[in-house]
Structure 1
Amino acid sequence: MKGFLPVILLCIMAVTASAQITQDATKQLRIYEDDDYFNVWGRGTDRGYSNGSSIGYLYMKKKKSVFLDKWILPAAGRNAVNVFEWSAMQVMITPNQIADTSFNPKDFYYAGALYATHGLTSYNPEKKYSFHSEFVFGVLGPWAFAKETQTFFHKFIGYQPPRGWEYQVPNAPLINYSFTYEKMLWSPVDYLEIIGSANAKLGTMTTAVSALTYIRAGLFNPYFGNRCLPVAVKKRFQLYAMARPQFTFTGYNALLQGGIFKSRDTNFEELSNYQQTRMRHFSIGMDYGIGIVINRATISYTQKTRTEWMSGTGKHSVGNITLLIPISRKTIPGN
Structure 2
Amino acid sequence: MKKLLLPVILCITVATHAQITQNAAQLLRLYEDDDFFNVWGRGTDKGYSNGSSIGYVYMKKKPSVFIDNWLFPKAGKDAVNVFDWALMQIMITPNQIADTSFHPEDYYYAGALFATHGLTSYDPVKKYSLRSEIVFGVLGPWSLAKETQTLFHHIINYQPPEGWEHQVPNSPLLNYNFTYERMVWEYRRSGEVVAGVTGRAGTMITGFTAQVYARYGLINPYFGDTNVQRAMRRKFQLYLMVRPQFTAVAYNALLQGGIFRSRDTNFEELEGKHTSHMRRFSIGLDYGIGIGIGRTSICYTQQTRTAWMSGTGKHSVGNITLLIPLSPSTNSSR
The within-5 A match list for 1:280-291 is 280-291=279-290
How much does 1:330 deviate? 3.3
> Letter of the aligned partner of 2:33 in structure 1?
D
1:312 corresponds to which letter in structure 2?
G
Residue 278 (structure 2) pairs with residue 279 (structure 1): yes
2:47 equivalent to 1:48: yes
Give the aligned residue type for 1:68. Answer: I
Residue 54 of structure 1 aligns to which amino acid in structure 2? S
Matched residue type, 2:10: L
How far apart, in 1, do the equivalents of 2:263 and 2:58 lie? 41
Counterparts of 2:76 and 2:18 in 1: how far apart (Å)?
A: 20
Q: For residues 92-140 of structure 1, what are the alpha-carbon distances to aligned partners after superposition, in whole Å with 9 as ceiling and x for unaligned?
A: 0000000001000000000000000000001100000000100000000
C-alpha deviation, 1:21, in angstroms: 1.2
Instruction: Name the CA distance, whole Å, in 1 between partners of 2:202 and 2:279.
Output: 18
1:199-231 Cα offsets, whole Å, 9 max, x none, are: 000000000111000000111000000121100
Structure 1 counterpart SS, 2:226: coil
The residue number in structure 1 matching 2:328 is 329
| Cα distance change of structure 1 residues 238 and 74 upon mapping to structure 2, 3 Å threshold | same
- 1:16-55 alignment, distance < 5 Å: 16=16, 18-55=17-54
| Structure 1 range deviating more: 309-318 or 58-67 | 58-67
Cα distance, 1:25–1:120 mapped onto 2, change above 3 Å: closer
1:22 CA drift (Å)? 4.0
Per the alignment, residue 80 of structure 1 pairs with 79
Runs of 4+ aligned residues of structure 1 deviating over 6 Å after TM superposition are none
Instruction: Report the 3-state secondary structure (helix = DSSP H, G, I; strand = E; otherwise coil) of the residue aligned with 2:187.
Output: coil
Q: Which amino acid aligns with 1:164?
A: G
Gap regions ≥5 residues in structure 1:
none
Tell which deviates more after alignment, 65-74 or 109-118: 65-74
Q: CA RMSD in A?
A: 1.1
Residue of structure 2 in register with 1:91 after alignment: 90
Structure 1 equivalent of residue 145 of structure 2: 146
Question: Is residue 3–residue 157 contact of structure 1 (8 Å, CA) maintained in 2?
Answer: no
How far residue 189 of structure 1 moved from its aligned partner, in angstroms, is 1.8
Query: Could you tell me which residue of structure 1 aligns to residue 295 of structure 2?
Result: 296
**Distance between the aligned counterparts of 2:284 and 2:140, measured in 1?**
27
CA contact (8 A) 1:29 1:324 kept: yes
- Is the Cα contact below 8 Å between 2:80 and 2:333 reproduced in 1? no
Return the alpha-carbon distance in structure 2 between the equivalents of residues 29 and 256 of structure 1: 30
Letter in 2 for 1:59: Y
1:184 maps to a residue whose letter is M
Q: What is the CA-CA distance between 1:332 and the residue it aligns to?
A: 2.9
Identity of aligned residues (%): 66
Question: 2:117 and 2:3 mapped to 1: Cα distance?
Answer: 31
Within a 5 Å distance, the mapping from 1:210-289 to structure 2 comes to: 210-289=209-288
Distance in 1 of aligned mates of 2:179 and 2:206: 14
Instruction: Map Cα deviations across residues 278-329 of structure 1 (whole Å, 9 max, x no partner).
Output: 0000000000001110111000100000000000000000000010001111
Superposition TM-score, scaled by structure 1 size: 0.98
Structure 2 match to 1:111: 110
- TM-superposed CA distance for 1:19, in Å, is 4.1
Paired residue type of 1:207: T
1:158 counterpart residue number:
157
CA contact (8 A) 1:120 1:134 kept: yes
Q: Residues of 1 paired with 2:239 and 2:329: CA distance?
A: 26
| Alpha-carbon distance between aligned partners in 1 of 2:10 and 2:177, rounded to the nearest angstrom | 32
Given that 1:2 and 1:159 are in contact with CA atoms closer than 8 Å, whether structure 2 keeps it comes out as no
2:22, 2:332 within 8 Å by CA — same for their partners in 1?
A: no
The answer (yes or no) to whether the contact 1:170–1:261 under 8 Å persists in 2 is yes
Query: Which amino acid letter does the alignment assign opposite residue 98 of structure 1?
Result: I
CA 1:282–1:320 in 2, change beyond 3 Å: closer, same or farther?
same
- Counterpart-to-counterpart distance in 2, 1:334 and 1:244: 28
**How far 1:67 moved relative to its partner?**
1.3
